[in-house]
Structure 1
Amino acid sequence: MAPHLGHPAAAPPAPAPAPPVAAQPVPVHAHITDAMKAPDLVRLGDNVVLARFETMKVYAALGAVRSLLRSGRVVPGQTLVDSSSGIYALALAMACHRYGLRCHIVASTTVDAVMRAQLEVLGATVDQMPPSSSLRLDQERRVRHVRQLLAERPDFHWMRQYHDPVHYAGYAEFAGLVAGALPDAELTVVGAVGTGASTGGLVQALRRSGRPVRLVGIQPFGSVTFGSERFSDPEAIIAGIGSSIPFENVRHELYDTLHWVDFRHAMAGAVGLLRDHAVFAGLSTGAAHLVASWEAALDPGRLHLVIGADTGHRYAERVFARHAEALDRSSLRPRRIAALDELRPPWSVMEWARRAHQESGGTPAKEVS
């Protein structure tokens, strides 16, 4: 005889139907880049909003390519070349597709097969660096390869995403979106430093409008940009966050606060973002989520905007397949430091106070002007 299971629990009442909402017109875009460039704004907390991009650097690539074509520095049919860890490569390939230009990418070892296939179908040619144990070696190899290409093909135009200020131009449009969508109040922007153009371009444009904006930048250990090059984090080749060579597009005087975050902490932020908010995003976004959560708790009256540069697809195996190993984000705290000689992994924070120059730096790899 089957055991008596009793009456099933009563189902919760169905939610009341939502009132009808007038349909908003949906734009028909001339090219996919117009649809991809704008982020989704997602509230993560009372005073935290995420700007979640599919590929954030579409703003930079479109703005730069349009400016170069208008000025005559490049012409239709010319080949644009640059080095990239992934999302800029895709953005540049799409901009070239839109404007009738050829594209050649010197790809980081971190560019996966899915990304490479997209680039090749879009018409880009790709030279990828071999597996590397460090951010420094990967970037230095790419720099040397770009120099070799330019020596062989002087008709190529090097986009110099790390150095040419033309990459700031596109982010003024993003600033306009932020200004229209978020309350006109004090704002803290939290994002990876990387090339400097995304956080720098956004914050410069917002500050010019008169809005009080703090800029909180994030770096990996091993980056020369804000003086952590004496450390190594072999598990983290997060080339979109830091650099082994000085980037001229990083304007140190724009940054109020710096956080240095290791791979394990960035992973905790990325896994926590998916677990708590169902947002699948990359390691730089995970690091920004971790940092913004801590910053927002210190200043609950101020709105914090998290920059989510890309989706999590290229980190599926290295990060999300290992989700059971992820640290509990809520238990993590940074070490406060007053000078770079106090810097220590796994997470340190320092008030940079908009100083114009870093306190220490690495030896630059030889670049082309």
Structure 2
Amino acid sequence: MHNHIAEAIARPDLVRTGERLVCLRFETMKVVSALEAVRHLLRTGVIAPGDTLVDSSSGIYAYALALACHRFGLRCHIVGSTTVDHTLRTQLAVLGATLEQMPPEADLKLDQNRRVRRIGEILHAHPDWHWMRQYHDRVHYLGYRAVARQIARELDPSRLIVVGGVGSGASTGALATWLRTAAPGVGLVGVQPFGSVTFGSEHVADPDIIIAGIGSSIPFGNVAHELYDTIHWVGFGAALSGSVDLLRRHAIFAGLSTGAAYLAARWERDRCDRTVLFIGADTGHRYVDTVFARHAEAVPVTSLAPVEPATRAGLALPWSRMAWPAPA
């Protein structure tokens, strides 16, 4: 029996979605990293019960940190993106977290820079508050060790490829790191939106939206580029089709980043003899209107294929794939 709901949420499910294709399905993935990061900081005396933790978030991490603070008797302050919706704002308020939400900003880089600048102002006014630095502090790798052990108990890591949205770098980077301690040959495929600087697609704009949470307009210290073998850049339309197909074919209701990872995982599975595991980072509830209500727009995933350019200059919508490291 769990002592707190955060501990239950932190344990994912492994769901088979076809031959050699497995979904690592989370309710809210970043609870894994936030919970163990906070536990470690308490255990090492960096923070103490009653302290205030602060960080920037576009959504999932805000909820995860609020749950971790609730679990350990800490206060939580979030500087939130414009993408934080009414449901999450309400949950944070009831959990006792405080939220400063940035006003609408068309430029993602300006939104992220503004949030980081605001945290600097907060820390200047409250030097006793602890900045979690989810994008830069490797303490966020720790929680994925238990997940890697769970995967290794059910699948053969020596025959495994992991596929997932890169985002802060913690989930895919940590899983590959922990799995490779026992099986150095574990493959790692990162999924990115177009317009992200993390793997050099900032010159390609997606006319719909940038998939929140898996890319960035500023560099993240937790992204270890050398860990990745392949990168897929997936546009909104292709990810929508992946999300709808995953729900229609396998009844897994997951977010847009999961749809993109599913699309990339299917492609990799069909071109190797290994088991491919893709990360389902969250549920589909916050994408009901923007994705699932538009299910009629989804095209068959079998009709989609990535462009495989010689250099990053050739990256193109709706989907591109390159071995990493890739020439500019």
Q: Given the two structures, how large is their TM-score scaled by the length of structure 1?
A: 0.86
8 Å contact kept, 2:310–2:327:
no
d(CA) in 2 for partners of 1:181, 1:230: 41
Tell me, yes or no, if the aligned pair for 1:42 and 1:51 is still in contact at 8 Å: yes
**Does the CA-based 8 Å contact 2:9-2:31 persist in structure 1?**
yes
Q: Which moved more, 1:143-152 or 1:117-126?
A: 143-152
23, 26, 45: which one pairs with 1:53? Answer: 26
The AA in structure 2 aligned to 1:315 is Y
Residue 54 (structure 2) pairs with residue 96 (structure 1): no
Q: 1:359 to 1:120 in 2, by over 3 A?
A: farther
**One-letter amino acid of the counterpart of residue 301, structure 2:** R
Q: In the alignment, residue 256 of structure 1 is paired with which amino acid?
A: D
**2:174 alignment partner AA:** G
Provide the rounded CA distance (Å) in 2 between the counterparts of 1:351 and 1:237.
Answer: 22
Q: Specify the SS of the correspondent of 1:305.
A: strand
Instruction: Establish whether residue 218 from structure 1 lines up as the match of residue 179 from structure 2.
Output: no
Give the root-mean-square deviation of aligned CA atoms: 1.4
Deviation of 1:93 after TM superposition, in Å, equals 0.5
Q: Which runs of 4+ in 1 moved over 6 A?
A: none
Could you tell me how far 1:211 is from its partner in structure 2? 4.8
2:246 is matched with: 273
1:321-354 deviation per Cα after TM superposition (whole angstroms, max 9, x unaligned): 11111222110000012321222222110000xx
Contact in 1 for aligned 2:28/2:281 (Cα 8 Å)? yes
Q: Of the candidates 73, 92, 113, which is equivalent to residue 140 of structure 1?
A: 113
Which deviates more, 54-63 or 341-350?
A: 341-350
Structure 2 partner of 1:308: 280
Q: Which amino acid letter does the alignment assign opposite residue 347 of structure 1?
A: W
Q: Equivalents in 2 of 1:186, 1:336: separation in Å?
A: 24
**Could you say which structure has the larger radius of gyration?**
1
Give the counterpart letter for 1:296 in structure 2.
R
Which of 168, 174, 188 matches 1:195? 168
Alpha-carbon offset, residue 62 of structure 1: 1.1
Offset at residue 36 of structure 1 (A): 0.7
Pair 184,66 (structure 1): closer, same or farther in 2 beyond 3 Å: same
> For 1:1-369, what aligned pairs fall within 5 Å after superposition?
28-299=1-272, 301-352=273-324, 355=325
* Alpha-carbon shift at residue 197 of structure 1 (Å): 0.5
- Name the CA distance, whole Å, in 1 between partners of 2:247 and 2:281: 15
Equivalents in 1 of 2:107, 2:235: separation in Å?
13
Letter in 2 for 1:172: R
Contact preservation (8 Å) 2:194, 2:210: no
Contact 2:193 2:215 in 1 (8 A): yes
Per the TM alignment, residue 163 of structure 1 is displaced from its structure 2 partner at its CA by 0.3
The letter for the 2-side match of 1:146 is: I
- Deviation string 1:96-124 (CA, Å, 9 cap, x unpaired) is 00111100111111111111111111110
Distance 1:297 1:313, change over 3 A: same
Separation in 2 of the partners of 1:234 and 1:81? Answer: 33
Say how many residue pairs are matched.
328
Say whether the 8 Å CA contact 2:12–2:26 is kept in structure 1: yes
The CA distance in 2 between the partners of 1:200 and 1:193, in whole Å, is: 8
CA–CA distance in 1 between the matches of 2:152 and 2:108?
A: 35
Shift of 1:94: 0.5
Three-state SS of the structure 2 residue aligned to 1:279 is: coil
Whether the 8 Å CA contact 1:135–1:222 is kept in 2: the answer is no
Letter in 2 for 1:313: H
Structure 1 distance, partners of 2:293, 2:125, is 42
Unaligned runs of 5+ in 2: none
TM-score by length of 2: 0.97
The Cα of 1:130 is off from its aligned counterpart by 2.0
Which residue identity does 1:323 align to in structure 2? H
Higher helix share: 2
Deviations 1:124-155 (A, max 9, x none): 00011222324323222222221221222212
Extract unaligned runs of 5+ from structure 1. 1-27, 361-369
Amino acid at match of 1:281: A
Counterpart of 1:334 in 2: which secondary structure? coil
Distance in 1, matches of 2:296 and 2:129, equals 46
